[in-house]
Amino acid sequence: MADWCRDKAKSLAVQDIINRWKVLNKIFADEVIGRLSKVEYALPNGAMSDLRHLLAESQRLQNQAVRPLQSAVDEVKGTLNGIANALEKEVGGLQAARVGNKTPVRLERHDPNIVRGWNNAKKGLYGELISDEYMVNKGFNNLLPDNRRVRSLEDAPKGRGIDGIYGNPNPPPPYIVTETKFRTAVGEYVDSDGTLTRAKNVEGLLGNTKDGKQMSNRWIKNRLEKEIGDAQARKVEQSYESWLMIVGPDGKVETIYKLDQNAKVVGTVKI
């Protein structure tokens, strides 16, 4: 239903209404006035004059209607998009409640000195657990199936897929795609699969692959269907924002970077 509302809002255009109005005026002129003029002698006095006046009035209003029509169309679009936002928020809440009914996994924050002694795979899992907890606590709905989520520090690293795909409770955008890096020291970061990366800047944490740079639109698109299925992937592709989340050794999300379609940093998200 939300998609239907957004599609209808996108399809509304003043010029389309004006064009249809012009067509109706032409039909009225050709098919009604044109044909009746041939038998005008059989019509009541003044009938043709009234019809021509109606046509002229319609054409005059048509020429003056663009501005008021635009205001009306904008109002309808706003209403439809508002309904879509409300529906998506409601669905997100229901899905979050459904997920919340499952057996919770307690996330314990560990002393940074203890974390320092872990292997990189465990640090990567810890970072992903922290970032997911942060998103869920902010009201985002994790769209990944259970078998693709990190549930504990004993899980096996899932490889270089997408770390997180979330429904946004306050769109736009309706979806958020995340990548998490766990910071071990200045310039050293661990990926969710345990890979250690040293970089001079944040963008250097995102590696190049055969599908393009990690977290670029192309890279994400080539993985969405595998992560959440074709139908859901098509919805996410239409409108999402990509975030790079940095988790520190104290078990807190330190910084969230917004990325553009080429995985370049374009801003930060307030924590």
pLDDT on residue 104: 40
% of the chain exceeding 70 in pLDDT: 84
pLDDT on residue 215: 93
pLDDT on residue 109: 57
Compare 200 and 26 and report the one with higher pLDDT: 26
Query: pLDDT tens digits for 42-99?
Result: 888 888 888 889 989 988 888 888 888 888 888 888 887 778 777 666 555 544 444 4
Assess contact for 255 and 134: CB atoms under 8 A.
no
pLDDT on residue 242: 96
Query: pLDDT tens digits for 112-141?
Result: 667 777 788 888 888 888 899 999 999 999
Q: Can you tell me the mean pLDDT for 234-242?
A: 93
